[in-house]
Amino acid sequence: MKYRATLLLCSLLFSLNTLTACSQEKTMTKTTEDIFQIIVRQDIPRLRLWLAGKPNLELKNKKGETPLMAATYLNQIPMTRLLIAAGANVNTQDNMLNSPFLYAGASGHLEIVKLCLSGGADYRVFNRYNGTALIPACEKGHVAVVEELLKDKTFPIDHINRLGWTALLEAVILGDGSAKQVKIIQLLIDAGANLAIKDKEGVSALDHAKQRNFKEIISLLEKAALKK
């Protein structure tokens, strides 16, 4: 009789523990789903309510995105502002190795770039090409973002990515020679970019510009070289 009572008690305790664990797991899953649904719906009042509970700001969805990363992908400035103010990490990378700072720079999201810079952007965190936020910003013609990044004299302007390109090289190699690209080349020159760095094949930015017949860029680089 005593044995059966003990067995029944053990069985009851096991069931309670299992139910508690399941309940906690469901609660965690629901919390994770809820915040990302809040981000997708761009529901700022609900986000404020969520933040008031002092949640884990670095929880991730299946894509490895934090709530801040998800909001950055949507270029949701009010939400990113709230999350960064609450302490969200602007350098946390997702499965694609995008961070809020890196993606905002590459996508031309100027206001989010500014928020990330004030929120502790780390220039030693690189994207999947081992590049900085500046390199794709230069390639894609995001003039305002380039201007913002170059305000900080400590920014690694001559960082070389996995392809063997600096921001200057990538702006010429993958750029279209447009007025925006010409402006960016001038910004890089004015900021002290090293014109002598060559790619893996030993080709300089000036040589690449000549190959593409980017006349205005050729002129800028030749004039800058004479001043060195």
Q: What is the pLDDT of residues 185-199, one digit of tens each?
A: 999 999 999 999 999
Q: The dihedral of CA 118, 120, 124, 130: what is its sign?
A: negative
Give me the residue label for tokens 């709230």.
Answer: 82
Q: Do 168 and 60 belong together in one domain?
A: no
Q: Do 64 and 85 belong together in one domain?
A: yes
Q: What CATH number did the domain enclosing 167 receive? A: 1.25.40.20
- The two structure tokens encoding residue 160: 């070389």
Give me the residue label for tokens 């500046």.
Answer: 134
Q: Do 34 and 104 belong together in one domain?
A: yes
Question: What CA–CA distances, in Å, run from 52 to 47, 69, 115?
Answer: 9, 19, 21
* pLDDT (0 to 100) of residue 18: 45
Choose the final residue of a domain: 110, 128, 146.
128
C-alpha to C-alpha distance for 65 and 173, rounded to whole angstroms: 31
* pLDDT (0 to 100) of residue 228: 72
* Domain total in the chain: 2
Q: Do 90 and 169 belong together in one domain?
A: no
Angle of helix 215-227 relative to helix 179-190, nearest 10 degrees, comes to 10
Q: Do 73 and 159 belong together in one domain?
A: no
Q: Do 10 and 115 belong together in one domain?
A: yes
Q: Do 154 and 113 belong together in one domain?
A: no
Query: What's CA 195's distance to the chain center, in Å?
Result: 27
- The two structure tokens encoding residue 146: 């380039």
Q: In which domain, by residue range, is 154 found?
A: 130-228
Q: pTM above 0.75?
A: yes
* pLDDT (0 to 100) of residue 32: 60
C-alpha to C-alpha distance for 57 and 88, rounded to whole angstroms: 6
- The two structure tokens encoding residue 21: 């664990």
Choose the final residue of a domain: 128, 163, 184.
128
Is pLDDT at 48 greater than 60 in this prediction? yes
Choose the final residue of a domain: 128, 151, 183.
128
Reported as a single tens digit per residue, the pLDDT across 57-100 is: 999 999 999 999 999 999 999 999 999 999 999 999 999 999 99
Q: Do 162 and 63 belong together in one domain?
A: no
C-alpha to C-alpha distance for 24 and 204, rounded to whole angstroms: 58
Strand-pairing partners, residue 198, are 204
